[in-house]
């Protein structure tokens, strides 16, 4: 599903070159739920941005669904991102002046679906997250947990094979965090591969596998849910 080999990413300012990822290698299989942990500045978000085709690596090889994505044009990368990848952010990143319906509509517009198909998918995904009745509400009219559920609905509407979550519960209280986590587990059970960056060790343990990034490299791999792994296999 996702295979990174010797990925490097460095940022250069006038005088300093910062290495965000160094010889970073990782393979994620279809249907896995992988949590990513590590100290601040270790390269977790950079990894997620590269995995989500928002940034290009300085070096190394990245295969998504067996396709080398390094040489793709911006248009092809955007198309791939829209079709195969869903994003969930810590800050929800809903567009404030669009109602829930229109927020979820955004990725579907870029996919080129007709109005009928877009409506079907939006209504279905809002139902999945339990917010069908609030389609015409603006994000500001919802609680944080509800906003994150809308963000998940938006990510799911395109039926991606691959969900990237950057601290999806970071801005939520424990009850809402648990609800969001249960939703992600539910989505994963339906076959969507999930990579989730988190600082919360309890949430990290609930994934099939946890990887730790330190100084831009994978430092530790732990199997945390062998029974789920075997179920996937």
Partner 1 sequence: MFGYYVSLALRSLRRTPVLSALMVAAIAVGVGAAMTTLTLNYMMSRNALAEKDSVLYAVQLDGWDPHEAADNPSEMPWQLTYQDSVNLLRSDIPSKQVAMHRWGGPISLENSDVRPFNADSRVTSRDFFALFDVPFLFGGTWSEEADQSPIHQLVLTSETNDKLFGGENSVGRTVNFNGVPFTVVGVTEHWQPSPKVHDLNNGHFNKSAEVFLPFGLHRAFEIYPWGNTNGWKSEEITSYEDRLNSDMVWLQYWVQLDSPKQVEAYRDFLTGYIREQKEQGRFPRPLKIGLSKPSEWLLLNEVVDGDDRMLNWLSLAFLLVCLVNAVALLLAKFLRKAPEAGVRRALGASRNAVFSQHLVESACVGLLGGLAGILLTLAGLSLIRQLQMGYMDRVASMDWTMMLAAIGLAVLSSLLAGFYPAWRISRTNPSIYLKTQ
What is the contact surface with partner 1 in residues (CB under 8 A)? 45, 49, 52, 54-55, 74-75, 78-79, 81-83, 87, 89-91, 93-95, 97-98, 106-107, 109-111, 154, 158, 166
In the complex, the smallest distance separating the C-beta of residue 107 from partner 1, rounded to whole angstroms, is 4
The H or E element spanning position 159 is none
Cβ nearer to partner 1, comparing 33 with 89: 89
Distances (CA, A) of 190 to 30, 122, 160, 194: 12, 18, 11, 11
DSSP structure class, residue 69: -
Q: Output 68 or 97, the one with its CB closest to partner 1.
A: 97
Tokens of 154: 């938006």
Q: How far is the CB of 224 from partner 1 (least distance, A)?
A: 26
Whichever of 63 and 110 has its CB closer to partner 1, that residue is: 110
Residues 206 and 37 sit within 8 Å (Cβ to Cβ): no
3-state secondary structure 108-137: HHHHCCCHHHHHHHHHHHHHHCCCHHHCCC
Q: How far is the CB of 184 from partner 1 (least distance, A)?
A: 18
User: Hey, what are 4's tokens?
Assistant: 């990174």
Q: Shortest Cβ distance from residue 95 to partner 1 (Å)? A: 5
* Nearer of residues 87 and 206 to partner 1, judged by Cβ: 87
In the complex, minimum distance from the CB of residue 99 to partner 1, in angstroms, rounded to a whole number: 11
In this structure, what DSSP letter does residue 141 have? G
Q: How far is the CB of 221 from partner 1 (least distance, A)?
A: 25
Pick the closer one to partner 1 by CB: 1 or 98. 98
Give the Cα separation of 61 and 82 in Å (integer). 21
Instruction: Specify the residue, 171 or 217, whose C-beta has the smaller distance to partner 1.
Output: 171
Cβ-contact 139, 96 below 8 angstroms: yes
């Amino acid at each position: 599903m996702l295979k990174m080999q010797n990925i490097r990413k460095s940022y250069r300012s006038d005088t300093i070159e910062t290495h965000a990822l160094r010889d970073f290698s990782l393979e994620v299989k279809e249907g896995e739920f992988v949590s990513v942990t590590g100290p601040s500045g270790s390269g977790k978000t950079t990894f997620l941005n590269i995995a989500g085709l928002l940034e290009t690596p300085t070096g190394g090889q990245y295969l998504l669904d067996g396709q080398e994505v390094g040489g793709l044009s911006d248009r092809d990368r955007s198309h791939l991102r829209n079709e195969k990848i869903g994003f969930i952010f810590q800050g929800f990143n809903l567009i404030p002046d669009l109602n829930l319906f229109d927020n979820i509509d955004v990725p579907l517009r870029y996919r080129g679906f007709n109005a009928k198909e877009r409506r079907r998918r939006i209504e279905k995904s809002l139902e999945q997250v339990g917010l069908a009745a609030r389609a015409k509400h603006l994000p500001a009219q919802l609680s944080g947990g509800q906003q994150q559920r809308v963000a998940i609905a938006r990510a799911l509407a395109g039926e991606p094979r691959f969900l990237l979550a950057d601290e999806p519960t970071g801005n939520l209280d424990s009850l809402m965090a648990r609800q969001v986590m249960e939703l992600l587990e539910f989505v994963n059970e339906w076959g969507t591969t999930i990579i989730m960056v988190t600082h919360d060790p309890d949430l990290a343990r609930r994934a099939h596998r946890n990887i730790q990034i330190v100084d831009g490299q994978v430092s530790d791999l732990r199997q945390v849910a062998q029974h789920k792994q075997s179920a996937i296999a």
